[in-house]
Structure 1
Amino acid sequence: MNPLRWNFRLQMFAGAGVCAALLAFAIYTQMRLGLEPCSLCIYQRLAFAALGVVFVLAGLHGPRNRAGRATYGVLGVIAAAVGAGIATRHVWVQSQPQDFMTSCGPPLSFLNETMGPFEAFRTVLTATGNCGDIDWTFLGLTMPMWCLVWFVVLGLWALACGLRKGKGAR
């Protein structure tokens, strides 16, 4: 069964399922493997959640016209691009020499209490230290590298599904 031939709703629900599986794996690695997420990890999880919400809304709505499907495709690409940007920053932080980065900064709860949301977001994106620790790899790629791969794949999936011709009402 070729997923590119599925109807739009099923394709969007499949994308949401992948996002849910990735978030479940992140929670599993935290709870069972003891890998504590850094600030950049938390923002990547939020980006996967946002992308999953776009997929779910697109699947529930199931627009019949091409413009509606394209809108959801573009929204998916935007959410994936934001996540890919955060993952790219995380990969960069991990590629720096260990003595260059000293800490990820204060916890998110402290940032939320003492700063506005935009300043807190900026502060987290300048994270250092344990964001640079590599605690897990699979096939030679770290967790942020895998996140980057999945953001690119899911962004392309959203775009391909949103821009393909529909087969009528579904």
Structure 2
Amino acid sequence: MALLRWRVGFFVLFLVCVGMLGFALYHQFYQWLMPCLLCVYERMIVIVLGLLSLLAAIWQPATRRGVLTFSGLYALIALWGAGITVWHLLIQFGPKESGVSCASSLPFPIDLNAIPGWIAAVIRPVGDCSVVDFTLFGMSMPFWLLIAFIGFLLPLSMLTRIRLIEIRRRGL
């Protein structure tokens, strides 16, 4: 039963990540809201969390050390995403410095000319991080991503706890 909870739980988290990416791509390609550099970093973290969730839905660590290592990595990446969204919110709502934007302050680590065009279109930073061009219920996209990244930690902790109890019960 714990195996089913682990796999279904992480598959649901994978579907959440797919939904988040679909929402972002819809707004990019149909509403013409171009992502800024921090948006692209946040998007890549959602992709990594989605891939880790899919991996966990397929593979289940059998030892306590494996569960803790996987959960720690997952939590670290989710917290890294939360940190980037906090930085993004500070750029959007903090004091404005003249001539400073996130696009000019961070290097982009991928040569977009070396990858296929459709992938480059998804991760090409075009917008300005300080501009709030999308709100949902009065909150900007980084705010919702912050809630999502922190929200990933609750099911992660529950699934980890369930799996550790199962491992202890089986004596692995």
Go from structure 1 to structure 2 and tell me whether the alpha carbon gap of 1:82 and 1:111 turns closer, same or farther (over 3 Å shift): closer
Tell me what 1:83 maps to: 81
Go from structure 1 to structure 2 and tell me whether the alpha carbon gap of 1:153 and 1:38 turns closer, same or farther (over 3 Å shift): same
Paired with 2:43 and 2:61, the residues of 1 have a C-alpha distance of 27
Report the Cα offset of residue 158 of structure 1. Answer: 1.6
* 1:152 partner letter: I
Paired with 1:108 and 1:101, the residues of 2 have a C-alpha distance of 14
Paired with 1:19 and 1:88, the residues of 2 have a C-alpha distance of 19
Paired with 2:63 and 2:108, the residues of 1 have a C-alpha distance of 46
TM-score, length of structure 1 as denominator length:
0.76
Paired with 1:109 and 1:78, the residues of 2 have a C-alpha distance of 22
Question: What's the secondary structure of 2:81's corresponding residue?
Answer: helix
Report the Cα offset of residue 138 of structure 1. Answer: 0.9
Runs of 5+ consecutive residues of structure 2 not aligned to the other structure = 112-126
Matches within 5 A, 1:37-52: 37-52=35-50
Cα RMSD (Å) of the superposition? Answer: 2.9
Residue 67 of structure 2 is aligned with which of 66, 69, 74? 69
Identity %: 32
Question: Could you tell me whether the CA contact under 8 Å between 2:103 and 2:129 is conserved in 1?
Answer: no
Residue 103 of structure 2 is aligned with which of 81, 105, 119? 105
Residue 28 of structure 2 is aligned with which of 23, 30, 44? 30
Question: Could you tell me whether the CA contact under 8 Å between 2:11 and 2:54 is conserved in 1?
Answer: yes
* Count of matched residue pairs: 151
* 1:96 partner letter: G
* 1:16 partner letter: F
Residue 93 of structure 1 is aligned with which of 91, 94, 114? 91
Question: Could you tell me whether the CA contact under 8 Å between 1:93 and 1:132 is conserved in 2?
Answer: yes
Question: Could you tell me whether the CA contact under 8 Å between 1:84 and 1:148 is conserved in 2?
Answer: yes
Runs of 5+ consecutive residues of structure 1 not aligned to the other structure = 114-128
Question: Could you tell me whether the CA contact under 8 Å between 1:12 and 1:58 is conserved in 2?
Answer: yes
Paired with 2:110 and 2:5, the residues of 1 have a C-alpha distance of 42
Question: What's the secondary structure of 1:41's corresponding residue?
Answer: helix
